[in-house]
Amino acid sequence: MKTSHAFPAISKLLTVVLGAGASLAAHAQSSVTLYGILDSGIEYVTHAAKQGSGNVLRVNTGNRINSRWGLTGKEDLGGGLHSIFTLESGIAMNNGTLQQGGREFGRQAFVGLESDKFGTVMAGRQMTPMYRYFLALDPLNYSSYGLSAQDAQFVGRADNALEYLGHAGPFEFNALYSFGYDSTIANGAQVPGQFRVGKQVDLGGRYRQGPVNLTLAYEQRQGTSIASSGNSERRFVAGGSWEIGRTTLYGGYELLLNDVAATLADAAPQTMVFGGVRYQVTPQLQLSAGSYYHAYRMVSAHALSSGVNADYWLSKRTALYTDLTYVINSAKSTLSATGSTTPVATGANQLAVVAGIVQKF
């Protein structure tokens, strides 16, 4: 009798174990990852006012790498097809506030399908091809004094966007279409009956093989009012890098054309060329130097921003850094060392120095 009663118990136990095993196997085919980067430092900037005088010493955030936290996930659907998502929030470490206009997930917020054969399609708020591809081509490591300070669209994102990523051997392709690229401004999103208002189109491609990276990108953003919807900002960008042992050389070019009156102050028509070098001194220590020259097309003005930085990794997750940049403005130029975060008087030169710490998780 005891033996006969044992069989149902054993059967139930096996059912639970097998069920748990099947559940674990299902979960093993999907993953969700919590990640983040925290960056804070002490920054000193001269001529940090439009009146031309006034220096500032402050705790600042995202000097070396913009602080963020996020969730990213992937589920195996079989046949080389995966569902994916990313939710990424920008954080100002000096005061704990949200970045990117106060959006909860202002850095990225998308869901999509990824195919091993046919590439990836995503929908939501996403990085542009300029951002995605030129991350690898900034001699100053995409610090706050690098390409993002020269043109904010080097860290551009678009709301309401469909995006495609594909590859063929060493070639990669990226296309984006936004139905309204900025939902936080008036008419920056979809306007019924006015499909061109706030629309954005991006195309990008690169070749990466061995030590060589060659990249092209194009971006067009329409005006955000009905009256300006026929006008646009257009960017043509090219760049490349070449690794020689522990040294990497960088170079690039941007042509910015703009006939949207409302954005001329922040996106003045110009040509910009840049170049630089990065040297891996030891596995822990990296030194970089870069220069960015601007020639503005609507006024007789030019500017040169030159900087150096050093990164020392205490571990795989924690680094100390220091950056120094000096901007020389001609009489009609207003290029800031830090981009839009700190103004500078017309024609004034500006020095920016920062030292801080980065921690990844």
Q: What is the pLDDT of residues 243-287, one digit of tens each?
A: 999 999 999 999 999 999 999 989 999 999 999 999 999 999 999
**Residue 8: inside a domain, yes or no?**
no
Distance of alpha carbon 236 from the chain centroid: 18
| Euclidean distance between CA atoms 311 and 323, whole angstroms | 9
Strands 301-313 and 270-280: unpaired
Per-residue pLDDT at 10: 38
How many degrees, rounded to 5, is the angle at CA 63 between CA 52 and CA 247?
110
Residues 58-73, mean pLDDT to the nearest whole number:
95
Q: Which residues contact 315 (CB under 8 A, 6 or more apart)?
A: none
Q: Is the pLDDT of residue 327 over 90?
A: yes
Per-residue pLDDT at 190: 76
Per-residue pLDDT at 9: 43
pLDDT, one tens digit per residue, over 168-205 is 999 999 999 999 999 988 777 778 888 899 999 999 99
Q: Is the pLDDT of residue 2 over 50?
A: no
**Residue 113: inside a domain, yes or no?**
yes
| pLDDT band at 322; cut points 50, 70, 90 | very high
Distance of alpha carbon 20 from the chain centroid: 41
Q: Is the pLDDT of residue 223 over 70?
A: yes
CATH at residue 163: 2.40.160.10
DSSP assignment, residue 104?
T
Cα end-to-end distance, the chain, whole Å: 58
| Euclidean distance between CA atoms 48 and 269, whole angstroms | 24
Per-residue pLDDT at 17: 38
Strands 212-222 and 56-61: unpaired
| pLDDT band at 51; cut points 50, 70, 90 | low
| Euclidean distance between CA atoms 107 and 118, whole angstroms | 26
Among all chains, which residue has been given the structure tokens 């801080």? Answer: 356
| Euclidean distance between CA atoms 56 and 295, whole angstroms | 28
| pLDDT band at 307; cut points 50, 70, 90 | very high
Domains: count for the chain: 1
Identity of the residue numbered 122: M
Q: Provide the domain limits for residue 35.
A: 31-360
**Residue 218: inside a domain, yes or no?**
yes
Among all chains, which residue has been given the structure tokens 């130097």? Answer: 289
Q: Is the pLDDT of residue 155 over 80?
A: yes
Query: How high does pLDDT run on average in the chain?
Result: 91
Least confident of 45-49, 112-116, 253-257: 45-49
Residues 228-233, mean pLDDT to the nearest whole number:
95
The answer to whether the CB of 274 falls within 8 A of the CB of 291 is: yes
**Residue 70: inside a domain, yes or no?**
yes
Q: Is the pLDDT of residue 242 over 90?
A: yes
| pLDDT band at 52; cut points 50, 70, 90 | low
Residues 89-110, mean pLDDT to the nearest whole number:
94
Burial level of 215, CB count in 10 A (0-12/13-18/19+)? buried
**Residue 2: inside a domain, yes or no?**
no
251-256, long-range: CB within 8 Å, 24+ apart, which pairs? 251/275, 252/134, 252/137, 254/150, 254/151, 256/151
**Residue 1: inside a domain, yes or no?**
no
The residues pairing with 98 across neighbouring beta strands, listed in sequence order, are 91
Per-residue pLDDT at 20: 42
| Euclidean distance between CA atoms 180 and 127, whole angstroms | 14
**Residue 9: inside a domain, yes or no?**
no
Greater pLDDT, 22 or 103: 103
Q: Return the number of other C-beta atoms located less than 10 Å from residue 13's C-beta.
A: 10
Per-residue pLDDT at 341: 80
The continuous run of DSSP H or E covering 130 comes out as helix 129-134
**Residue 3: inside a domain, yes or no?**
no
